A = this chain, B = another copy of it.
Amino acid sequence: MLKYQEIAHELEKYIEDHKLQQGDKLPVLESLMAQFNVSKSTITKALDLLERKGVVFQVRGSGIFVRRHKRKGYISLLSNQGFQKEIEGFNLTSKVIELDVRKPTQEVAENLNIGPDADIYYVKRVRYIHGQALAFEESFYNKSIVTYLNKEIVSESIFNYISEGLGLKVGFSDMYLHVDKLNEEEAEYLGLKKGDPKLYLESVYHLTNGQPFDFSKLTYNYEQSQFFFQSNSHFF
C-alpha cells in the first residue's frame, strides 16, 4: 500500500471512529499534514482518493466535508473488489454447484477477449446472506490468467484468492444491469417462484493492465438485495 493510500485509510477510520456525519468539516490541509506528518501532495492525493470513493467532498475555497449516507443494509455496487468485499459486514456464505474447465461459448469468449480454444474455469454457485439465498452466480475465468481454482477456493472469496493467492492486480470493471423475470432454474436456487422479479448483473473484471479475467452473471433475489452507489461531480 502506498503512503497516500495508508493516509486515506487512516482518514476513513478517523471519520468512522469519530462518527462524523454528512456535511461535517474535516480539519484544514495544514492540520492534516501536521497530524499525519506527511507532505501536502500526499494529503491531497489521499483526499482525492477519498473523494473518488465517495467518502468526502471538496468545496473549492471552503474545505473538505464528510460524505455519508444514512441508510443501512444496502450493498455497494461499485467497490470493485468482487462480490465479497461489496457486502463486507454482511454474513456471506456460498454453495458450489459446479466447477470445471471448459471451452468458452461465443458470448464468454467475446467478453473475456479470448479465442474459442482457450480454456476457462466455469463456476456455478449460490451465494447466501445471513443464510438466505442472495444470488445465483455463473462465472467464467480466463484460465491463462486465473491458472488454478478448486472447490475449496471457490466456496470462499475467489477475489481474495486471486489478489492474495495468485498475486494478480484487479483493476476496473464494466457492469451491465437489467431487470427481468426469473426462469425455473433461477427461481429454484433462490427459493422464489418462476416469473418473480430478478435483478440481473453481468460484469467484466479486468486486471490493472486492461486484460479481462472474469466474466460473471449474477441473478439477485429481489427480496434480499438492495444496492447503493454514489456518483461524483467530476464529469463535464
Contacts and interface: CB of A to CB of B under 8 A. Distances in A.
Interface of A: 1, 5, 8-9, 22-23, 49, 52-54, 57, 59-60, 62, 65, 67, 69-71, 74, 77-81, 110, 169-181, 196-199, 204, 206, 208-210, 220, 222, 225-236
A67 B209 CA distance: 11
Nearest to A199: B179
B232 A57 contact: no
Number of copies: 2
A60 B220 CA distance: 36
Contacts of A57: 171-172, 206, 208, 210
Among A69, A81, A110, A178: residue with most chain B CB under 10 A = A178
A81 B231 CA distance: 10
Contact of A233 (B23, B170, B204): B170
Contacts of A172: 54, 57, 67, 230-233
B229 A175 contact: yes
